Structure 1
Amino acid sequence: MSRLVVTGASGFIGAALVQHLRTLGRPCAGIGRRAGPAVDGVVAAYTTVALTPWVRAGDVLIHLAARAHRPGQAHDDDFADNLRTTAALVEICRAQGAARLVFVSSVGVHGQRTVDAPFTERDAPAPEEAYGRSKLACEQLIVAAADLAHVIVRPPLVYGAGAPGNFAQLARAVARGWPLPLGAIHNRRSFVAVDNLVDFLTLCAKHPAARNQTFLVADGEDLSTPQWIARMAAAAGRRSPHLLPVPSAWLRAAGTLLGRRAAAQRLCDSLQVDSTLARTLLGWTPVVGVAEGLRRAMAPLRTP
């Protein structure tokens, strides 16, 4: 049985993945920039020198470590470290004889919105933001290493207990019952529960048919922003907060003025993914539905 080495083990998804692997009894090692329950080795930076002692022949690497979204206007230089880190890991995998590299990318590689149909793996990449462009550059670097078996996974928003960023902010607002100006939003968005994502990554690490494939992965139930908020409230044991019918154009304008344009777009736009390939080629099915995923995600905020 191959050992799995997880980068980014001090982060939200990485910690959940290491815990999942330990529960399964899979040999694994978690690497992170800071100490934590899932971290076996702390590195100051993901360089060849720092990572070489942690990679050996036959290992499967699951690469989660990355500089993620930043508030405000981000530039390509802000994410240059993502490419440097990935380049170091590719070099080590090839030198040490790793069996496979599973790279966790982002749906942002395709863009920030869908119009007529969900994204599929066949759609040409068209990243609109610096973060998505950095992830695409990492993917291209991995694919170019022809002698390295790889799997690329592009998830949409990942939610769960302890999830950072926009989900955490919205979860707190919903749990407190704050009125929200989102009643006039009519969109459709895909999400993936962290439990579903770590289960899928574990499958990608070992399934023969996953070799050199790219996958989109989601829960399989797309919701509008108001529906998502109602589900979050129910999971927290609260009534859905009052949603004010503010036109989406006003929200976009306010987001631009406040330097939160990307956050406003994510609340207003549709972004759907089709995970048919993951289900048919690998036989994967989500281990939890949206209701259970949100119940687990909102548990720390649940009203007694």
Structure 2
Amino acid sequence: MRILVTGQKGYVGTQFESWMAQHYPEVGVELLSVRTQNLAAIDFSQYDAVLHAAALVHRKETSESAGEYHRINTELTENLALRAKSAGVKHFVFLSTVAVYGEEGGFEEPEKVIPIQQVPRPTSLYGKSKYEAEKRLKQLENPDFQVAIVRPPMIYGPDCPGNYARLAQLARKTPIFPAISGNRSMIFIDNLSAFLNEVMREKASGIYVPQNSETVNTTQLVTLIAEANGKKMRTSKLAGNLSRKALQNIPIFKKTFGTLVFEMESTIKYEAVSLSDSIWKTENR
């Protein structure tokens, strides 16, 4: 089996290549940058599957960047799939995002669980561009060109970008943290790589939201990160209650501490690495 992975410098693509080299060295995995590469120059006929992980992400969203999000996340995805399909590639795996659901987290009681089949209503430019790409890919699908859409929640692992890296930096420095109850779906990069491998081995199609088998709240996560770094983290219920009362309607606070949990259907069938082990591996690899 030969797999083309887009996103030569991207986190998911490079980590997937390394994971496959370690666990399935007999599978040919080639990383390629498609943002600068002429798509017409790529010989897609040599690949059995394409994992499209390249994307524009973590870019400040402005009216000026809207066109760039659309060009890279939507149009490039469609053009790549069209060329792969015309060359005879049978399977296309698209790394999308849970941002297509438009959910940012909250403090509802009882805890809200988001169904995988909930109709997407993205609010960010990133989410909108990814969802538009999903719709275009589904229009290209036929029995000879299967499409799998993967919408992972927050991805974390060694040297990862994004929210986890910011929380880890905080956990290494602060001695006390507010105790706030709000669970979140997350996925460790090795678990995601294992899931993506399973999808391609089975030539699966459809929509998937892979996640760890257990959710975690931000306070628990920061505590685990501190322990992995040999620190003892103190948590404060008082600080948590005061923070929640004062800040619960602030978007960044809801995104960081609020509940954002997806149903456990259409997720990984096994967990390659447990939550506590994954945090240790992330902090000590």
Sequence identity, in percent?
23
Q: What are the superposed Cα offsets for residues 166-189 of structure 1, whole Å, 9 maximum, x if unpaired?
A: 211111111123545x43x32111
| SS across alignment from 1:66 | coil
Q: Distance in 2 between matches of 1:154 and 1:117?
A: 18
Partner of 2:191: 196
Amino acid at match of 1:133: K
Q: Distance in 2 between matches of 1:4 and 1:215?
A: 20
Instruction: Indicate conservation of the 8 Å contact 2:4/2:32, yes or no.
Output: yes
How far 1:242 sits from its partner (Å)? 5.0
Partner of 1:69: 58
| SS across alignment from 2:133 | helix
Q: Distance in 2 between matches of 1:294 and 1:205?
A: 27
- Does residue 222 (structure 1) correspond to residue 215 (structure 2)? The answer is yes
Instruction: Indicate conservation of the 8 Å contact 2:228/2:280, yes or no.
Output: yes
- Does residue 98 (structure 1) correspond to residue 98 (structure 2)? The answer is no
TM-score (norm 1): 0.81
After superposition, residues 249-260 of structure 1 pair within 5 angstroms as: 250-251=246-247
Partner of 2:282: 297
Partner of 1:278: 267
Amino acid at match of 2:161: P
Amino acid at match of 2:184: R
Partner of 2:7: 8
* Unaligned segments of structure 1, at least 5 residues: 33-42, 256-260
Partner of 1:149: 146
How far 1:248 sits from its partner (Å)? 2.8
How far 1:8 sits from its partner (Å)? 1.0
Relative contact order: is structure 1 or structure 2 higher (C-alpha 8 Å, sep ≥ 6)?
Answer: 2
Q: Distance in 1 between matches of 2:18 and 2:98?
A: 25
How far 1:222 sits from its partner (Å)? 1.1
After superposition, residues 100-119 of structure 1 pair within 5 angstroms as: 100-113=91-104, 115=108, 116-119=111-114
- Does residue 83 (structure 1) correspond to residue 83 (structure 2)? The answer is no
Structure 1 stretches of 4+ with a deviation exceeding 6 A read none
CA RMSD of aligned residues (A): 2.3
Partner of 1:35: none
Instruction: Indicate conservation of the 8 Å contact 2:112/2:259, yes or no.
Output: no
How far 1:73 sits from its partner (Å)? 5.8
Q: What are the superposed Cα offsets for residues 122-165 of structure 1, whole Å, 9 maximum, x if unpaired?
A: 21112122211111111111101033211111110000011102
TM-score (norm 2): 0.86
* Unaligned segments of structure 2, at least 5 residues: none
